[in-house]
Structure 1
Amino acid sequence: MNYPTENPFASTHSLDTNPFEDPTDAQSTTNATRLEEIRQRELDLERREQELAQKQEHIRRHGRNNWPPFFPLIFHSIQEEIPQASQPLITRLYQLWLVLAGTLVVNMVACICILASGSSNGGSDLGSSIGYLIFITPLSFLLWYRPIYNGYMKEQALYYYLYFFFGGFHLLFSVYMIIGIPSTGSAGLIQTIQAYTKPSLPAAIVGTVATVGWIVQGVGLAYYYRQIWAHHKAAGHSVEKAKTELATHGAKAYFTRG
């Protein structure tokens, strides 16, 4: 009589998975990954805060204000305050602001030439161009360049919204100046074409330089405006976050480095 040598309770088709295992393991893994990403972001923010605190202490000891060079009022250092990955962008924006400042000077000189050529609107053009030079130069620095500088330095939503608001207005102003309507203080396209047809060679030449300047800084700012908007969306900034930052830090955060 033959007896079976195999275990009758043994199975050649053993279960591959534990029937008592939580079926949401995949979701748990995903959550763990997200928590790890959040933790890494928090560590990065802590590191950045420590770096800013060290830089603030360095500034306190060795002097804060270094800009503008001829009469220092604020501290401005892209290499020391802006994260390395964002330094090229902020450097380009600063260079475009310098182009704007130079264009405002050239635009005023062009309006002087327009007045000297006998234009009936020359007085209005010159007066407006002087006003642009006096007010647009500092306001553009304070209202759109400085906010985005602070935005990339502190990575706070409030500064991005300030930049988008005032930077958008400046883009519209640039288009207005490129057109060059007579008596508006702009030596743009229309004024320059009229100078060539008169002809008034000095006004035409300087007006051409001014027009190119308006185009360069306007197109450049429009290009970087889109890049900054994409970064802003990817960083998850929101109006609610901006309100919280304003309530927490107040307006004084605009002038402080920490």
Structure 2
Amino acid sequence: MSAFDSNPFAETANDNPFHDPSVTQVTNSTMGSVEQFNPFPAHPTESLAATTPASTSPYQPAVLQPSTEPSPQATAVAAQANLLRQQEELERKAAELDRREQELQSRGPTGKENNWPPLPKNFPIKPCFYQDFSEDIPEEHRRICKMIYYLWMFNCVTLFLNLLACLALFTTEVGNGTDFGLSILWVILFAPCSFLCWYRPVYKAFKSDSSFSFFFFFMVFFCQVVIFIIQSVGIPKWGNSGWITAFSAMSQNTAVGAIMMVVAIFFTVCAILSVVLLKMVHRNYRRTGASFQKAQQEFSQGVFTNKTFQSAATTAAASAAQGAFQGSN
């Protein structure tokens, strides 16, 4: 019955959470600290330091930043520096373009760098032509083309020896100054002209099988054969140490006559070789299938496609039309 007499709504010690010894201890200690708090401390600053914590807010006070906008003077200086830099860049590109243009001009129409005459790289005069027998000339024409090239070099050596022989003749007698002066002229005139007028045409003819180059070579080289014969004969006062001049000098001075006789032999060899090579070139020309009609066609195409001829023809036509218009008025 005792169990029924107990109050079911009565709180037991185990059901009240505040009766826990740990909670009771914390509550008592807190009350004690509150009772010991002194609102009037001896040093107010210590109280403030103890009671006021340091601000830990992530927001900082606003700070007035200085203006970063450049001044007009700085803007003008920067613009001027930019213009100078662009001008230097343009000048550098212009110099590069000029260098490339000079390289292209030095290579000539073949697109390859000229290699003749073979001059040092630091020489002020650059090579004017491109020459390569193994690459340009077919194998069946290579030998004769080289022989013509050697004939041109032998002719240049003979002209130089002729100058020395005429100089020796001039030292023996002052009246032989005409031969010495003409010998200088022949070296200056015949050496480069022979290269341009008959060696380069035959080189181009064998290279591109050009009928026009063949005909041009035949006409000029035939004149060169005649000149070789005249030089070997040695007409007096013509500036040539041929046979007649050599025998005449032999009666005056044996040493000078012997030198001129050697030059006469060289001129004779040039004449003989030129006749032989002319026949050999003609034989190869007939094998290539070239003809006079092809030469005319090549000449007409070359003339009408030449820019100089086109500009001259345009100028002449404009002048004629202007004259006709003025005459009608």
What TM-score results when the alignment is normalised by the length of structure 2?
Answer: 0.55
| Contact 2:114/2:131, CA 8 A, preserved across alignment | yes
Q: Return the alpha-carbon distance in structure 2 between the equivalents of residues 244 and 103 of structure 1.
A: 38
Select the residue among 161, 174, 180 that pairs with 1:126: 180
| Higher RCO (Cα < 8 Å, 6 or more apart) | 1
Q: 1:205 to 1:221 in 2, by over 3 A?
A: same
Select the residue among 284, 289, 297 that pairs with 1:244: 297
SS at match of 2:237: coil
Which consecutive unaligned segments of at least 5 residues does structure 1 have? 1-55, 254-258
Select the residue among 135, 148, 159 that pairs with 2:189: 135
| Contact 1:117/1:200, CA 8 A, preserved across alignment | no
Q: Return the alpha-carbon distance in structure 2 between the equivalents of residues 128 and 187 of structure 1.
A: 11
Alignment of 1:164-179 (within 5 A): 164-179=218-233
Select the residue among 265, 272, 275 that pairs with 1:212: 265
Q: Return the alpha-carbon distance in structure 1 between the equivalents of residues 291 and 249 of structure 2.
A: 48
Q: Return the alpha-carbon distance in structure 1 between the equivalents of residues 145 and 207 of structure 2.
A: 10
Partner of 1:66: 115
Larger radius of gyration: 2
Alignment of 1:1-258 (within 5 A): 60=111, 63-70=112-119, 71=125, 72-118=127-173, 120=175, 122-201=176-255, 203-250=256-303
Matched residue pairs, number?
A: 193
SS at match of 2:113: coil
Q: 1:233 to 1:174 in 2, by over 3 A?
A: same
| Contact 1:103/1:213, CA 8 A, preserved across alignment | yes
Percent identity, aligned pairs only, is 24
* Alignment deviations for residues 156-202 of structure 1 (CA, whole Å, 9 cap, x no partner): 1001101100000000000100011111000110111112222341x
Q: Return the alpha-carbon distance in structure 2 between the equivalents of residues 137 and 99 of structure 1.
A: 10
Q: Return the alpha-carbon distance in structure 2 between the equivalents of residues 251 and 237 of structure 1.
A: 21
Q: Return the alpha-carbon distance in structure 2 between the equivalents of residues 130 and 184 of structure 1.
A: 11
The amino acid across from 1:82 in the alignment is I
Which consecutive unaligned segments of at least 5 residues does structure 2 have? 1-106, 120-124, 307-329
Q: Return the alpha-carbon distance in structure 2 between the equivalents of residues 211 and 231 of structure 1.
A: 30
Q: Give the drift of 1:251.
A: 9.3
What TM-score results when the alignment is normalised by the length of structure 1?
Answer: 0.70
| Contact 1:97/1:217, CA 8 A, preserved across alignment | no
